[in-house]
Chains A and B, each alone.
Chain A
Amino acid sequence: DTEVTQTPKHLVMGMTNKKSLKCEQHMGHRAMYWYKQKAKKPPELMFVYSYEKLSINESVPSRFSPECPNSSLLNLHLHALQPEDSALYLCASSPADREKAEAFFGQGTRLTVV
């Protein structure tokens, strides 16, 4: 199984809503990532979890709150988002401790904030 599964695929939320994005993998990878991708731009790293601990936070606003409850799951909790946060949110996983660690990506969640 080389899949990274993200739910939901599409999400529309108001600026006062609270929602969560979910990501799951069963490849035994101990590194998991959240990326944000705006239209016609490359993915930008938001967070990295390594062995279920947050290892990189790229100065992401606190309205985005990541969580890694176990080695297979990664969540991104959203609260009080702004319209400019509308984007494709990609989850990825990889082995944590090898240089040749290609990241496997999910299909993403297309988020629209209204």
Chain B
Amino acid sequence: AQKITQTQPGMFVQEKEAVTLDCTYDTSDPSYGLFWYKQPSSGEMIFLIYQGSYDQQNATEGRYSLNFQKARKSANLVISASQLGDSAMYFCAMREALHTGTASKLTFGTGTRLQVTL
């Protein structure tokens, strides 16, 4: 069974500063994918960034980067130059490898609420 842990229920960051949101995971599968999603108060889950277990380099997407430390089983999200619009709930999620050629489930951590202040 897989498990995702986000230990920060809430975080504050000043506008234009960088912030790191923590995520650790546990899986016995050698092949897996890690995702970060943003959920504003409107409810929609917005995909931010993906890291595959065999990827050699850390993923980056604009102001988002993923600090992937495989041996420590951590996949922290770094948001640079924070903006007021970044205030939202952030979820780390994991998908195990597909073994049967059919869809597998995406399991979410408990989330971190980020508040960007002036």
Residue from A55, A100, A103, A106 in contact with B102 in the complex, judged by beta carbons closer than 8 Å:
A55
CB contacts (< 8 Å) of B32 on chain A: these are 99
A50 within 8 A of B: yes
Question: Given known contacts A88-B43, A92-B45, A108-B44, is B102 in contact with A102 (CB within 8 Å)?
Answer: no
Residue from B42, B47, B98, B108 in contact with A102 in the complex, judged by beta carbons closer than 8 Å:
B47
Which residues in window 77-104 of B have CB below 8 A to A? 91, 95, 97-98, 101-104
Q: Whole-angstrom distance from the CB of B62 to the nearest CB of chain A? A: 15
Q: Whole-angstrom distance from the CB of A11 to the nearest CB of chain B? A: 13
Extra contacts besides A107-B43, A108-B43 (5): CB < 8 Å: A42-B91, A45-B107, A55-B102, A56-B105, A107-B44
**Which of A's residues lie within 8 Å of B, judged by CB?**
30-31, 33, 37, 41-43, 45, 48-51, 55-56, 58, 88, 90, 92, 94, 96-108, 110
